[in-house]
Structure 1
Amino acid sequence: MSLKKSVVLFATALLLVSCSSKPPKSLVTPLPPVSKQPLPATDKNSQPVRGVWLATVSRLDWPPVNSVNVSSADTRIRMQQQALIEKLDKLKSLGINTVFFQVKPDGTALWPSKILPWSDTLTGTIGQDPGYDPLQFVLDEAHKRGMKVHAWFNPYRVSVNTQPATIAALNRTLPLHPASIFVLHRDWIRTAGDRLVLDPGIPDVRDWITSIVAEVVTHYPVDGVQFDDYFYTETPGSQLNDNQTFQQYGKGFSAKADWRRNNTLLLIEQVSRTIKQLKPGVEFGVSPAGVWRNRSFDAAGSDTRGAAAYDESFADTRRWVQQGLLDYIAPQIYWPFSRSAARYDVLAKWWSDVVKPTHTRLYIGIALYKVGEPSKMEPDWMVNGGVTELKKQLDLNESLPQISGTILFREDYLNRPQTQQAVNYLRERWGE
């Protein structure tokens, strides 16, 4: 979810797996027991989630790019707050009841953190106080409108690129309190996917991420906390070099892949436990890639041929559900019914079966960003302005009792010319 570019790369990676490739024998996950102390079930009468992701990384959805260039701080604050108010008003009119607001787009924060420097998305400069608290502002305004807010964190990303200007900006935070983790703990930082990231295999890194979530949950009335799909984010051409970390912390694991999956499991366990201790009413969820594993690699997987979270991100998302670590899971099922490599209905039903014996709620992330966009591989998004495909997906979500909601990726696409037929349809279907 995160950057559109990475979504496109992910979709591009959704190519047919060669028939000749043999599944790795050691990686088939045994079915662990469902948690003995299940999370409380939701009220059966509660409204289904109708959500939207609001991305702040690279100012994708907010704040307005032009607000950062104004000379007056008062004008900038007014522009940013007004833009957020207008967005929330529109979302309310469309029947959206939950906003997944990106509070930690990278190694910076959109609240006055004692752990992370201020985000440069707000002022153009890392560590510069924007003059108001964006997280508190969005909570106040959304709650005023009867909408919920989940604080969306990217756990491991430190920067969106590795350019010299970015490195220089991070280095300039050294005198600040707090400074960037890049200068405080250079030993935690790796390069992967052409980004600076934290090494998930270091226990202190997981503790540090947990402390950031705890800071938000303790000080803000958030309705939920969500992690996106970035755990291990390497690409074939830009791999995360954690050989030394594996040597130091990987005792007892014969395969690095299994150790990596255990690292993501440990983070999820730790964050889940921390939130429940601090505020049991705050929901904790993850929005992973839509494919857990392909059946060709694992008998328990889905009948798909796509990039799988288990093998690509080292995230055993099904296990997190089965062990009762999540209040909800929101897989990104960003393909139409006709995409044979990863059919929408196949994946939605597969996830429904996964959550069925558990108390984990299931929300489906759908690809608003593809609506109205020409595509040779997925022409369905163009038919009737994308309304035909959108209707099929929402109809299926509402027909399966295990699906408790839908989340649109992402907010700014509600304002694009190519989505307006679909937006009008959403207003008719969901609007008040």
Structure 2
Amino acid sequence: MMQHLNRLGALIACAMLLASCSSSPPRSLVTPLPPVTKQPLPGKLQHSETMRGVWLATVSRLDWPPISSVNAGRAARISQQQKALIDKLDKLKSLGINTVFFQVKPDGTALWPSKILPWSDMLTGHIGEDPGYDPLQFMLDEAHKRGIRVHAWFNPYRVSVNTRPDTVAALNRTVTQHPASVFVLHRDWVRTASDRYVLDPGIPEVRDWITSIVAEVVARYPVDGVQFDDYFYTETPGSMLNDSHTFSTFGHGFASKADWRRHNTQLLIEQVSRTVKQLNPDVEFGVSPAGVWRNRSHDPAGSDTSGAAAYDEAFADTRRWVQQGLLDYIAPQIYWPFSRTAARYDVLAKWWADVVKPNNTRLYIGVALYKVGEASKKEPDWTVQGGVPELKKQLDLNESLPGINGTILFREDHLNRPQTQDAVNYLRSRWGSISR
């Protein structure tokens, strides 16, 4: 048995090295992977079946686990967290949701017993503290029991959500843990951007390290898919990512830092895509980028919009990934109503449908459930009749365009808010009766 496990561990390492190969020789893994046993997958979502998904965020405990559970005793905490997850899945099942995008890596920590990342403090309040159960396995067991599929959702580069002294102290305390935080193991990889600690995407070993984390999950768990969100390069005008030294080291041959940054993001997507497929071809790999690839004012191939563009601001050439067949699906976040001139929902949905048309990449549209019922001067449609007419128009368009394969709602806890209940009842009447 041990010989078999060692062979599997070696297979994963080989898969990752192959995935990182380009013109340069293979690099050794920064973090060796543990021996693993690959698990069988449940039935895949049939491509003829419409995606009815929801994102379930764990960063800052936005959707789960309950904040009240964190300070409870061990047994009470486990019981509260597991019950909360079961209650959520039961509700999702009643609404007709067939896929949950579960955030397993909210920052530089994990919601499974990783050999690479410390345990997430979202579970216990302390980085590295064993929560007493495996949340990812629990989610998979309970979701699959209900016929709901689970995609493991990773934030690739975020290390922490702030740079406060208490956060630094908590990260530094992991130095005696196994595994310790990347913040102390590879401090030279860490930068500050958007007032958070993030990894520098231009460092090749960083991309290897992230790929090894995805590989660990794909090899050890029967996940139905893997998803990256839109946090590739993230910066704000007051908190830019200082990667000048990295650019001077690795950016030779690029006309601009922007082109080099896009190249780095491209390399990560290629590497993860190949690794996932080599480990388990049945696991789907997708990305959920900002809804605008590029505006037509910057590129004739872009959309007739004037919103923040993934290509120019996150340095992610999302359209290219579709064209190259690197993704099983793409889920652009089109978080605006039909009436928002700068980024009309229908304009963007149709643009993306045209992008995926020549190939086999499936298109799921991310819809702004979080805006439903919220007053907004620029987007008043979200409060008209509880937001139901706007939501209906968006779902109708998604179902009428042949290039769109479904909808993903952002995000789960908004299904429980008072202001969304008209919309939730509408979803239940529209989706809840659909048989699997």
Tell me the residue number matched to 1:90.
91
CA–CA distance in 2 between the matches of 1:256 and 1:211? 26
CA 147–340 in structure 1, closer or farther in 2 if over 3 Å, else same: same
Tell me the residue number matched to 1:317.
318
- Which amino acid in 2 is paired with 1:251? H
Tell me the residue number matched to 1:245.
246
Tell me the residue number matched to 2:227.
226
1:151 is paired with a residue whose SS is strand
Question: Offset of 1:236 from its aligned partner?
Answer: 1.1
CA–CA distance in 1 between the matches of 2:408 and 2:167? 32
CA 43–204 in structure 1, closer or farther in 2 if over 3 Å, else same: closer
Q: Does 1:65 align with 2:67?
A: yes
Q: Does 1:372 align with 2:373?
A: yes
- Which amino acid in 2 is paired with 1:291? V
Relative contact order (C-alpha < 8 Å, sep 6+): which is higher?
1
Tell me the residue number matched to 1:383.
384
Q: Does 1:192 align with 2:201?
A: no
1:174 is paired with a residue whose SS is helix
- Which amino acid in 1 is paired with 2:57? A
CA displacement 1:247-276 (0-9 Å, x = unmatched): 000011010000000000000000000000
CA–CA distance in 2 between the matches of 1:121 and 1:57? 7
Question: Offset of 1:45 from its aligned partner?
Answer: 6.2
CA–CA distance in 2 between the matches of 1:165 and 1:102? 24
CA–CA distance in 1 between the matches of 2:131 and 2:422? 37
CA–CA distance in 1 between the matches of 2:191 and 2:426? 44
CA–CA distance in 2 between the matches of 1:379 and 1:106? 34
CA–CA distance in 1 between the matches of 2:265 and 2:360? 21
CA displacement 1:9-57 (0-9 Å, x = unmatched): xxxxxxxxxxxxxxxxxxxxxxxxxxxxxxxxx9876311100000000
Task: For 1:121-136, list aligned pairs within 5 A.
Answer: 121-136=122-137
Q: Does 1:81 align with 2:85?
A: no
Tell me the residue number matched to 2:52.
50
CA 229–375 in structure 1, closer or farther in 2 if over 3 Å, else same: same
CA 163–387 in structure 1, closer or farther in 2 if over 3 Å, else same: same
1:403 is paired with a residue whose SS is coil
Q: How many residues matched?
A: 390
Tell me the residue number matched to 2:162.
161
CA–CA distance in 1 between the matches of 2:283 and 2:45? 15
1:173 is paired with a residue whose SS is helix
Tell me the residue number matched to 2:271.
270
- Which amino acid in 1 is paired with 2:160? S
CA–CA distance in 2 between the matches of 1:64 and 1:401? 39
CA–CA distance in 1 between the matches of 2:299 and 2:48? 35
CA 188–43 in structure 1, closer or farther in 2 if over 3 Å, else same: closer
CA–CA distance in 2 between the matches of 1:291 and 1:80? 36
2:233 is paired with a residue whose SS is coil
- Which amino acid in 1 is paired with 2:195? D
**After TM superposition, where is structure 1 displaced by more than 6 Å over at least 4 residues in a row?**
42-45
CA–CA distance in 2 between the matches of 1:231 and 1:165? 25
CA–CA distance in 1 between the matches of 2:79 and 2:96? 26
The unaligned stretches of length 5 or more in structure 1 are 1-41
CA–CA distance in 2 between the matches of 1:382 and 1:59? 26
Tell me the residue number matched to 2:148.
147
Tell me the residue number matched to 1:38.
none
CA 188–380 in structure 1, closer or farther in 2 if over 3 Å, else same: same
CA–CA distance in 1 between the matches of 2:344 and 2:45? 31
- Which amino acid in 2 is paired with 1:269? E
RMSD between aligned residues:
0.9
Tell me the residue number matched to 1:260.
261
Tell me the residue number matched to 1:401.
402
Tell me the residue number matched to 1:205.
206
CA displacement 1:96-154 (0-9 Å, x = unmatched): 00000000000000000000000000000000000000000000000000010000000
CA–CA distance in 2 between the matches of 1:138 and 1:395? 31
Q: Does 1:340 align with 2:341?
A: yes
2:201 is paired with a residue whose SS is coil
Task: For 1:173-188, list aligned pairs within 5 A.
Answer: 173-188=174-189
- Which amino acid in 1 is paired with 2:81? Q
CA–CA distance in 1 between the matches of 2:136 and 2:276? 18
CA 99–44 in structure 1, closer or farther in 2 if over 3 Å, else same: closer
The unaligned stretches of length 5 or more in structure 2 are 1-43
With normalisation by structure 2, the TM-score equals: 0.89
CA–CA distance in 1 between the matches of 2:185 and 2:255? 32
CA displacement 1:51-103 (0-9 Å, x = unmatched): 00000000000000000011x20000000000000000000000000000000
Question: Offset of 1:325 from its aligned partner?
Answer: 0.3
Question: Offset of 1:240 from its aligned partner?
Answer: 0.3
With normalisation by structure 1, the TM-score equals: 0.90
CA–CA distance in 2 between the matches of 1:144 and 1:175? 38
CA 119–354 in structure 1, closer or farther in 2 if over 3 Å, else same: same
- Which amino acid in 1 is paired with 2:215? A
Question: Offset of 1:399 from its aligned partner?
Answer: 0.3
